[in-house]
Amino acid sequence: MKNPIRNLGHKNLWVRTGYAFLFFFVLLMLAYVFGFLFLPEGIMKELPLPSFMVFKGKESFLSSFTKTLVYNLFILCIIVGGNHYRVRTLTFGYLPLYANTIIMGLFAGTNSFGGGISTHTPRGWLLFLQIGFPEFSAYIFGCVATVNLVMYHAGRWRGEKFKKIRSFKEIRLSKYELLFLLVSLILLVVAAFNEWRGAG
């Protein structure tokens, strides 16, 4: 297809899910390679990210787990809320999703995560499979499940105002989309548990 980005808004849930994961892996790898080759090691630690401000000091498992879950639910809500807006065929929920993907790739490529475990080792990638991948899978499932929530549409990125195309009462999600949302929530719980199961 000439414009694969169009498939992120495909009518078929499974097609847009496949493309959403494809874009995730491509952007993650590109950001990782760029960070590894061109940026100083550890440089991303200096960024004043909100997550760094939320998680300070040693806390109990329950406190860390709860904070992580609430923070990730907040990110998911931003993604779902963004899907009420669409320019051409792209809903806005994909923007924070892939912005976070690029940031995570740069963190991994520059080995900027805390905890003393290098992201350039098999152990680092195993941690990603236990924590980062479930989190981002949750974001992806939540995003693709709510593409049809769009209420405001614009045909161009510049010079055109959003038009309301339907009311909130007209929004409907299919049973599979609702199932994807449930899976998204379960994955966030699993990721938060895996991140802090050794704490406390």
Average pLDDT along the chain: 90
Out of 69-73, 113-117, 179-183, least confident range: 113-117
- pTM beyond 0.85: yes
Q: Where are the domains of the chain?
A: 4-196
Q: What Å distances lie between residue 10 and 4, 98, 154, CA to CA? A: 10, 18, 17
pLDDT at 1: 47
Place of tokens 């494809």: 22
**Residues 6 or more apart in contact with residue 106 via CB below 8 angstroms:** 31, 32, 34, 35, 39, 44, 112
Which helix (H) or strand (E) is 20 found in, with range?
helix 13-38
Q: Given pLDDT bands bounded at 50, 70 and 90, which one contains residue 64?
A: confident
| 176-193 confidence digits (pLDDT tens) | 999 999 999 999 999 999
Q: Which residue has the tokens 């802090």?
A: 196
Question: Which has more pLDDT, 114 or 27?
Answer: 27
User: Can you list the alpha helix ranges (DSSP code H) found in 39-197?
Assistant: 50-54, 61-82, 94-109, 122-127, 133-145, 175-196
pLDDT tens digits, 133-174? 999 999 999 999 999 999 999 999 998 999 999 998 898 899
